[in-house]
């Protein structure tokens, strides 16, 4: 039996992603892609009983709405936002039985940046280079290699799907805060900063710029840093590396 997920409102950026994305292809210029928040993506698939590498929707900042044509089971995890099935408020981090024709509405996130929507069953999408994940630059994966738009439809084979209540254990739900302290480690170019600048960058409070995207989080602060005017050859990078451009506002690679 096929159920169709219909996109009524796609929000600012909703894409199909999976875990772990594409591996071993960076030497060809193909990034990993995949879910940014693998913890919540795994929880979403667990809630509906899907394999961990199943595709699901990554919804950035909320403001999204979907309709389901058949009765099925969904899971919603991630940031904090009001969620409704029809006019009925529902809680995230537990599976939800959806009736035919019902609408799921995720309002704007108040904490966190992304939510994950899983649908029980076999998604009728094609893997490209070993992954369902959307890589928009090369138009790979997902639905035609792009973000979802109003009117898009994704078919899911729900044969054999049954609703058995599942709830995410409390200890696996992260605490969200508007202020976080993160651990960093010195890289090879750390010494390019003077002792004073090293101390300054570790004491500053940074915000996240609206120019951030899935590739990198651009940080901003009110006190620009000066670094030594050094040049070096291009080097490989991995997620988590913090780049420090001359302007002094770091970029955290995602």
Residues of the chain with pLDDT > 90: what percent? 67
pLDDT tens digits, 228-242: 656 667 777 888 999
Name, of 18-22, 199-203, 236-240, 242-246, the range with top average pLDDT.
18-22
pLDDT tens digits, 139-154: 999 999 999 999 999 9
Q: What is the rounded average pLDDT of the residues 112-138?
A: 95
Which of the four pLDDT bands, split at 50, 70 and 90, describes residue 250?
confident
Strand partners, 58: 15, 116
Query: What pLDDT shows up at residue 244?
Result: 82
**Ramachandran class of 114: left when φ > 0, alpha when ψ lies in -120 to 50, beta otherwise:** beta
Query: What pLDDT shows up at residue 227?
Result: 64
Q: What is the mean pLDDT of the chain?
A: 91
Nearest to 1 by CA among 144, 131, 137, 157: 157
Higher model confidence: residue 196 or residue 141?
141
Lowest mean per-residue pLDDT among 55-59, 108-112, 123-127, 184-188: 184-188
pLDDT at 109 over 70: yes
Query: What pLDDT shows up at residue 232?
Result: 66
């Amino acid at each position: 039996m096929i159920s169709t997920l219909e996109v009524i409102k796609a929000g600012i950026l909703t894409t199909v992603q999976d875990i772990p994305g594409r591996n071993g292809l960076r030497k060809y210029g193909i990034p990993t892609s995949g879910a940014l928040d693998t913890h919540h993506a795994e929880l979403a698939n667990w809630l509906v009983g899907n394999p961990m590498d199943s595709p699901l929707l990554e919804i950035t900042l909320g403001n999204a709405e979907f309709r389901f044509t058949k009765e099925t089971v969904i899971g919603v995890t991630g940031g904090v936002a009001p969620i409704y099935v029809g006019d009925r408020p529902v809680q995230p981090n537990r599976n939800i039985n959806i009736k035919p024709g019902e609408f799921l509405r995720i309002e704007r996130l108040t904490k966190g940046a992304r939510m994950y929507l899983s649908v029980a069953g076999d998604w009728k999408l094609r893997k490209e280079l070993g992954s369902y994940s959307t890589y928009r630059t090369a138009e790979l994966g997902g639905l035609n290699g792009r973000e979802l738009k109003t009117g898009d439809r994704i078919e899911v084979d729900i044969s054999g799907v049954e609703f058995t209540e599942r709830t995410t254990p409390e200890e696996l739900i992260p605490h969200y805060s508007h202020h976080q302290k993160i651990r960093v480690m010195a890289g090879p170019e750390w010494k390019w900063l003077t002792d004073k600048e090293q101390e300054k960058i570790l004491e500053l409070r940074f915000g996240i710029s609206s120019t951030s995207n899935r590739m990198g989080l651009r940080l901003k602060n009110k006190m620009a840093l000066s670094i030594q005017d050094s040049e070096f050859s291009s080097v490989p990078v991995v997620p988590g590396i913090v780049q420090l451009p001359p302007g002094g506002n770091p970029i955290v690679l995602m």
